[in-house]
Structure 1
Amino acid sequence: MENLLPKEKQAEFHLLKLAKKQELTKNTFSLEFEIPKNLKSQFKFEAGQYVTLKYPSKGEMYYNDFSMTSAPFEKNLSLGIKINQEESSTKDLFHDFEIGDFVEVSTPKGRFTLVSKPDEFRTIIGFAGGIGITPILSHFKNILHHEPRTRLFLFYGNKTRDGVPFKKEIDELAEQHKSRFHVHYFYSREKVGNAFLEGRLDEKKVGLIINQLMMIDDTDEESTLWDSVDEVLICGKGEMIKSLANACFHHGIPKKNIHFELFEEYNDDIYPQEKEFPMMEDIEVEFKLFDKEYKTTLKNNKMRLLQQLLIQKYPVPYSCKSGICGSCECVLEEGEVELLENEYLTQKEEKAGKILACMSVVLSKKLKVNFDLI
């Protein structure tokens, strides 16, 4: 995913050798990097995480985030990357670097992860759109390797059949693990002779999937496959995530078991806001950002903290505005906020005073926060 941060937070970068480069479709490609022995500990990662690549394009230096398709047990670090448009910096990344070249790569990060449970019987489903397959592919390879009792179902949406990234690898995994990995492809811009497999992955499609694909559970005659779902992984564009997450929730999956990763800027809430807040006006705000102290006044609290600071042109880091990425994480030093539902912070972090500015409704006349996390 391309990083939308106005300024990259401090990260540890290392030069890694490009070991493999492969064009997957007309606008997607993969890169594989060698991890030298002296950097193995720094590049230890969990399935579902990502790294930042630092590279030049058209005279500027870019910091872009890309999810790993490799699983932790695999030797090298592999990424899936999309060229969004003709002038995209990722096009230069593909054409300017050759096998044997060195690229600056950050140490792994991200919280789109799952706790491994190799001794349990689990059912995990994944929804992916386009290049959103990357972290889910990492998860599924890792689960198939470490969890012999876990069943996996993948519902993968793309525009056309010739535009499916990693299809060969996915099909090979499905062939190797026929009894517990099932994949279904959906196409939004191509007729494939089956109306069920045509169209976007959305809330209506979830209902059809439940009723047509996840009914009979051979291991439990009294329940359906959908009843047995333990975790849901969703990765793609914001509207897709919102639609699918709410559909899964309305069909009985607890929010804590629905995990998502966003691949573009998204300004809406994933789940509807269910609470009204008292009006606050003329709110004094102090904050520390990139070693600078700022003071400003918010007219009221109708909008959340991040959105108001961005309107006032402060370079607050963000990527999603939806409580997913954690880019706007900060520490609440004074004042009160209501922290809405988010996919990023743990309960322990919330108790320690950490908040996400994008999901914070200000509830005090004075507020002080620190974005310079240590």
Structure 2
Amino acid sequence: MEKLLPKAKQTEFHWLKLAKKRQLTKTIFFLEFEIPQSLQVHFQFEAGQYVTLKYFSMGQWNQNDFSMTSAPYEGKITLGIKINYEKSSAKDLFENLKVGDLLEVSEPKGRFTLVSKPHEFRTIIGFAGGIGITPLLSHFKNILRNEPRTRLFLFYGNKTKEDIAFKNELDELMNSHSDRLKIYYFYSQEKIGNGLFEGRLNEKKVALIINQILLLDDTDEESTIWDAVDEVLICGKGEMIKSVANACYHHGIPKRNIHFELFEEFNEDIYPVEKDFPLIEDIEVDFKLLHHQYSSKLKNNKVRLLQQLLIQGFPVPYSCKSGICGSCECVLEEGDVELLENEYLTEKEEKAGIILACMSVILSKNIKVNFDLN
């Protein structure tokens, strides 16, 4: 996962030494950082989290977020990074960073996490597209080590076989835990002689997976494997997440058990909005951002708060615009908004007045928010 976003919340960085670097595919490379004893307390993390790398590239400083592939028990930070285009900062980073170099790495963060339940019998499935495998690899390694009763199914989509990142590591995991882990690869631009595994991971493909792979359950002859699914993990491009998440929901998985992580900007809702809101016009907005006070007037509430402020040119922090990443988190100090479904905020945070600007429909003539949470 790579995110490009301005930050309103302070991020703590530390210098870490690069221990390993290698190319995995034509466009994806691997980095491993050592964590010295003196910094281990700052780099304790949960499976599924990410770090920010700060580095100089093409005349400017960059702060980009990348999901970790390492599991907490491994005691190191490992990343899979994709080079999306020829002149990207990621390509510059790969070509210029050498083993032994020091790089500024943030303390781990993110909420694409699961509560560990080592004493329960669970079924967890994952859907990954391309570089979206990175946080799922962290999750699966962690679950296989710490939850002996949990079984896992991974459905991993790529363009071709040559594009599969971490293929060797995934196959080693499956061979070592063949009784609890099954991995299925899908190809959108390569014919392999089996239509089930050709094409993108989407709503139609999920239906086929349920009917052809997640069938009779050896542990319960009266139900299917799909009936036993406890949690779903999804990471990839926005369209893939939207299609797969809705397919899982429509096939009976509660939304609270469907977890997803984006690795690019996505401007649509993951789930359809099923509610109409009263029209509010001529809205006055006051907000604090990076220690500056701003005021603006919005024509109406047909577009959500974040999107309206971005249209007007304000440097509001964002990444996904879909209620997943939490980058636009802020405190509602005055006024009313309707906060739509999101994957980020806890009930405690919502009760404390914290909202996500990207998921906020304004319901009053005046609102005041504060993006400087620190």
TM range (shorter): over 0.9
3-state DSSP of counterpart to 1:42: helix
Q: Does 1:254 align with 2:254?
A: yes
Aligned ranges for residues 223-238 of structure 1 at < 5 Å?
223-238=223-238
CA distance in 1, matches of 2:12, 2:214: 44
Structure 2 match to 1:209: 209
* AA matched with 2:71: A
CA-CA distance at 1:4 after TM superposition: 2.3
CA-CA distance at 1:131 after TM superposition: 0.4
Structure 2 match to 1:106: 106
Structure 1 match to 2:82: 82
Q: Is the 8 A contact 1:7 1:315 kept in 2?
A: no
Q: Is the 8 A contact 1:51 1:105 kept in 2?
A: yes
CA distance in 2, matches of 1:2, 1:55: 14
Report Cα offsets for 1:179-217 as digits up to 9, x if no partner.
010000000000011111000000000000000000110
Q: Find runs of 4+ consecutive structure 1 residues off by over 6 angstroms.
A: none
The two structures have a TM-score, normalised by structure 2, of 0.99
CA-CA distance at 1:10 after TM superposition: 1.5
Structure 2 match to 1:12: 12
CA distance in 2, matches of 1:294, 1:250: 42
CA distance in 2, matches of 1:8, 1:189: 40
CA distance in 2, matches of 1:157, 1:65: 22
CA distance in 2, matches of 1:134, 1:94: 17
CA distance in 1, matches of 2:297, 2:77: 46
Q: Is the 8 A contact 2:8 2:371 kept in 1?
A: no
In structure 1, stretches of 5+ residues that fail to align are none
CA distance in 2, matches of 1:289, 1:356: 14
Q: Does 1:52 align with 2:52?
A: yes
The two structures have a TM-score, normalised by structure 1, of 0.99
CA distance in 2, matches of 1:280, 1:220: 53
Structure 2 match to 1:152: 152
Aligned ranges for residues 288-307 of structure 1 at < 5 Å?
288-307=288-307
Report Cα offsets for 1:147-179 as digits up to 9, x if no partner.
000000000000000110000000000000000
CA-CA distance at 1:8 after TM superposition: 6.2
CA distance in 2, matches of 1:342, 1:349: 12
Give the length in aligned residue pairs: 374
Structure 2 match to 1:188: 188
* AA matched with 1:61: W
* AA matched with 2:16: L
Q: Is the 8 A contact 2:7 2:327 kept in 1?
A: no
Structure 1 match to 2:373: 373
* AA matched with 1:194: N
Q: Is the 8 A contact 1:8 1:63 kept in 2?
A: no
* AA matched with 1:279: L
* AA matched with 1:11: T
CA-CA distance at 1:7 after TM superposition: 4.4
In structure 2, stretches of 5+ residues that fail to align are none
Structure 2 match to 1:266: 266
Structure 2 match to 1:336: 336
Structure 2 match to 1:64: 64
CA distance in 2, matches of 1:282, 1:8: 27
